[in-house]
Amino acid sequence: MDIPKSQSVFNIVASRALNSFQVRKRPHMDGWFHGFQEIGAVASQHNSEDIVPIALSFAKTTKYSHILALSDEEGYVRLFNTRRQFAVPVSFEKNAEEATISEWSSHYNAVFDVCWIKDDTQILTASGDQTVKIWDVQEKKCLGTLAGHNGSVKSICSHPTNSDIIVSGSRDGCFRIWDLRCNSKSKNRRGEVTIGSTAVVEGAHVSSQAQRVRRGKVKTASMSITSVLWLKDQFSIATAGAVNSVLKFWDTRNLKSIVTQAWPQPQSTGKQRLHGISSLSQDDSGVLLSASCMDSRVYLYNILQVEKGPLRYFEGGRIDSFFVKAAISPDASNIVCGSSNGKAYVWQVNKPQVEPTILKSHDEEVTAVDWCRSDIGKLATASDDFTVRLWKKCSYVSTTKSPFAIRRRVMAMPSTECKMLLNNEEVGPKSGDSGLSSNEAPQNPVKSATPVTPQKMTSEGHKNQLSAELDLTISPQKTPECALKSPSSVLNPPPSLKRTIRDYFVASS
């Protein structure tokens, strides 16, 4: 009887290194959970008096993206540092006092919108006093007043690459374009420099019924512009109004008529009730646009195919007033919307069938919402309960033990063979040099000698990947028509093609 020879420690280690070893499998991903956790809350007040918040906005640059600007119905603007450790248990007044960076009275009327410009060194405020003001954030000094509207200014937005160019929408039914570089010597009674608009479009969202009002007078509610957006292609402006759910797109190089328009497709042939739009937002890629509608839905549009109507819609909350806003996250993964029932709702863009995450901490109507630009998954909500709350997206996975699996070590390829592989040369012995006969084959043949390069995460790649996930029905074939419809050609058209925005949007009939 043969007695097996005992292996030395060195033989055992060598055998494990050359063969296989046991490792734990990664946890099963079916247990992955996404949610939002409240990380802080501050009070909206001045001199110990509660004030209803109206608009809020995170700063845009990475350096200052933790700073949150809040405006209220009394005309005050307040800047908060959202990185501070907030008191536990929650003390809204104490949190507000400790997190406040600065505050000042910007208007003697409600401030309906705020917008950061000039690398977050300046901020714009749109007010019910029919003006827009430019503020130096450090000095809290008014640098100029944009005057010309005849109604409350409801929305403002800066050019995507040149923050000296501004668009504003008002309850007077018109939107105006401003250039802050225009020199002006005129001043108002407070000594502030007054700047006039460079272009104006009147009656942008006046309904056909309002146009037939007796004596030519149009009701303000039937013509108000509720939201304006300067799109990422740098030439187009999207506008929405209170009269209906129609979105209109304008070419700033020719404002005589709209380029195209879009609206939710009617579900029946019967008479439909008209619903206005309370807010518009777009992701950082510029491909997707969200519109919160007064029918308590948030519609998602593909900018390249707006004539086809919304891609999908999200519902669950209640939008009973034009103060309730919605916003799509910069990475286009989620949409958050306030609600008149005292909650906020967060949907996953790629999974509209999944129930939304409900943020339940507020006690009154949740109005303004905004996402942090650099801290992915961080957002803020404002409510009529005089508070602003901060939320952070959190994820966890089941930590249950997983079974063992056999993982085989892969030996490094010799440097000579690596060079041959990258040069598209055949790897392995030539015919006649191999010890294998013609009827034998290697167990692990090299199937491809094509060099593999990692995919670069560019903005265009993000847009194309996003389009594929949302099934935007853009043909993958490399045809000239497809190339012109791609996000890269729309947002960055080649200089050799002198095309206008009308070539990218199909004019509505």
Amino acid at 503: D
- Laid out side by side, the sheet with 334-337 consists of 326-328, 334-337, 344-348, 357-359
User: Distance (Å, rounded) from C-alpha 387 to C-alpha 482?
Assistant: 48
Query: d(Cα 187, Cα 435) in Å, to the nearest integer?
Result: 93
Q: Is 344 helix (H, G, I), strand (E, B) or coil?
A: strand
- Whether 357 shows a pLDDT value over 70: the answer reads yes
Sequence ranges of the domains in the chain: 36-396
User: With 90 as the cut, is the pLDDT of residue 317 above it?
Assistant: yes
**Residue 206 pLDDT class (50, 70, 90 cuts):** confident
Residue 302: beta bridge partners? 288
Residues 26-66 pLDDT 10s: 444 344 446 899 999 999 999 889 999 999 999 999 999 99
Phi, psi of 142 (to 5 degrees): -75, 120
Question: What's the pLDDT tens digit per position in 243-296?
Answer: 999 999 999 999 988 999 999 865 544 456 779 999 999 999 999 999 999 999
CATH class of residue range 36-396: mainly beta
Give the C-alpha separation, 379 to 161, whole Å: 24
Summarize pLDDT for 371-401 with one digit per residue, the tens: 999 999 999 999 999 999 999 998 654 444 4
Place of tokens 């029932």: 341
Side chain identity, residue 454: P
Phi, psi of 297 (to 5 degrees): -130, 155
User: pTM of whole model > 0.75?
Assistant: no
Cα separation, 371 vs 330, whole angstroms: 7
* 128-152 confidence digits (pLDDT tens): 999 999 999 999 999 999 999 999 9
β-bridge partners, 24: 404
Alpha helices (H) along 237-307: none
Whole-number Å distance between alpha carbons of 504 and 484: 8
Calculate mean pLDDT across residues 361-373: 96
- Nearest C-alpha neighbor of 334 from the set 348, 321, 320: 348
